[in-house]
Amino acid sequence: MAWGPDNVRKWSTLALLAIMGTALTVATDSPGFVALISQKGLDFACQQGMVVLQEELQTISVPDFSGVFKIKHLGKGSYEFYSMVVNGFHIPNPEMKLQPTDSLQLSIKEASIKISGKWKTKKNFFKASGNFDLSVEGVSIFADLTMGSDPTGHITITCSNCDSHIDSVSIKISGSMLGWLIRLFHRKIETSLKNIIYKKICKIVRNSVSSKLQPYVKTLPVISRADDVTSIDYSPVAPIITTNQFLKGELKGQFFWRGHRGPYPIEPPEMKFVPSNDYMVCMGISDYFFNTAVFAYQESGTLRITLGSRLDTRFHLNTDFLKGFLPKVAKMFPSMGVQLLISAPSPPHLSIQPSGLSFNPKLETQAFVVLPNSSLIPLFLLGMKTNASLEVDAEDNRLIGEMKLGRLLLELKQSNFGSFKVKFLEDIINYLIPTVVLPKINERLRRGFPLPLPAGIQIINFVFNSYQNFLLLEADLHRT
């Protein structure tokens, strides 16, 4: 491409747009965790919600209803319909559709209601009674569900609009002599009952949204307890939006130590991906999510471990093993315990690449002699470098992991009893860390970290894929 003035202008416009773009992303918090729900996921949600809505709609109470009739030559009489109960509310094809820009539309078409009840009529001295069946056909309901969030970060859902329609109501009257008389007025009766029922439907829908759906949505965690030390902040950083294919929630996705919550010197990366419609949900989990976990555990002091003299039966950590390279120490403190304090002086940075999750932790080991009265005498400080990888999986709605470590390379950083060659320690450290320290880390990783899911739902058929700076978890849902 030639770099003529035209191109320069184009490129500077692009650069300007890029700067504006950056300014915009800085203005709103970028998400460390993104959750998308596809149409398949909405279909599942709709199916689950319909079970509840159907139960609620079955509770429609139709008040007693009475009227008078007047027929030439016969004169006046009265009738009454009472004890009406809904026997069934059949909803054949409910649908939940995405609507711009923050709402869903629930649509029900061709639903039907079966109601049964009793009637009685009076005409002069004649009294008659019987049963009737009411069949309400072609019921349609359209309800808009608008999403937002409250000041505590909980997602809110309200029924912002509801419309219903009934095509026809037909009444079947059975029973004694005067049944024929009532039948003469079926149109009037049907119209009145249609109006009564019609008015109740949207009331029930609105009420179900506020008393059933909203409390359920509130079970989506905002702050999720990870363990005794840390929690995860899953509050939304932007309004929930609908695209033409997905419902999208951008969440903070940040771990924090409950003892002290400070700002982190890292920012979430941009997560660009094309989610598939084959799964109900899709979660973008950034390296920021994992790295804030490292920071939180680091700040809380959890990333330290002390190895004492009684490690395991095969190995006794005492001054005898120092004979070979620190004879002075072995002589000064004969057969005394040695303690190793292993820590990460700076939080290791985990990086996510298409090839997987990896990091290059830099650790330190401070060695001490333990005197018989338990006082500690500092011996030396070792620096340790290695490469590590993390395999991520999910179990019971929790992210779980398994860490693997490469060989540790040592460096003597400081010694109180003279210098020595670290290669004397390489074997023992490369034995201790993978057999004593790593299993403890993996035990914690196996217990996992909670994903943001509402109550009673479990992810199934899931797959993980890693991309530049984030992991993508795609899954279906299932009721537990």
Query: Which residues here bind ligand NAG, judged by CB under 6 A?
Result: 358, 371, 373, 375, 387-389, 404-406
Q: Nearest distance from residue 346's CB to ligand NAG, in Å?
A: 19
* 465 contacts 472 by C-beta, under 8 angstroms: yes
Q: Tell me whether residue 375 or residue 480 sits nearer to ligand NAG (CB atom).
A: 375
Q: What's the closest the beta carbon of residue 385 comes to ligand NAG, in angstroms?
A: 11
Chain-centroid distance, C-alpha 339 = 43
**Which residue's CB comes closest to ligand NAG?**
406
Q: What is the smallest separation between the CB atom of 406 and ligand NAG, expressed in angstroms?
A: 3
Whichever of 130 and 434 has its CB closer to ligand NAG, that residue is 434
- Cβ nearer to ligand NAG, comparing 16 with 332: 332
Token pair belonging to 448: 């996992």
CA dist 191 and 86 (Å) reads 18
What is the distance between the alpha carbons of residues 208 and 159, in angstroms, rounded to a whole number? 9
- Residue matched to tokens 């984030």: 470
Three-state secondary-structure class, residue 164: strand
The residues near 248 (Cβ < 8 Å, ≥ 6 apart) are: 34, 35, 36, 37, 240, 241, 242
CB of 429 to ligand NAG, least distance (A): 16
Nearer to ligand NAG, 131 or 358 (CB): 358
Provide the 3-class DSSP secondary structure of residue 193. Answer: helix
**Structural contact between residues 415 and 407, judged by C-beta atoms closer than 8 angstroms:** no
Q: What's the min distance (Å) between Cβ of 388 and ligand NAG? A: 5
The least CB distance from residue 304 to ligand NAG, in Å, is 22
Are 232 and 449 within 8 A, CB to CB? Answer: yes
Number of DSSP helices (H) and strands (E) in the chain, helices first:
9, 27
Answer yes or no: are the C-beta atoms of 362 and 348 closer than 8 Å: yes
Residue 243 or 353: the one with the smaller Cβ distance to ligand NAG is 353
**Closest CB 359 distance from ligand NAG, rounded Å:** 9
Task: For ligand NAG, give the closer residue by CB, 272 or 331.
Answer: 331
Q: Which is nearer to ligand NAG, 34 or 370 (CB)?
A: 370
- Continuous H helices in 302-367: 327-332
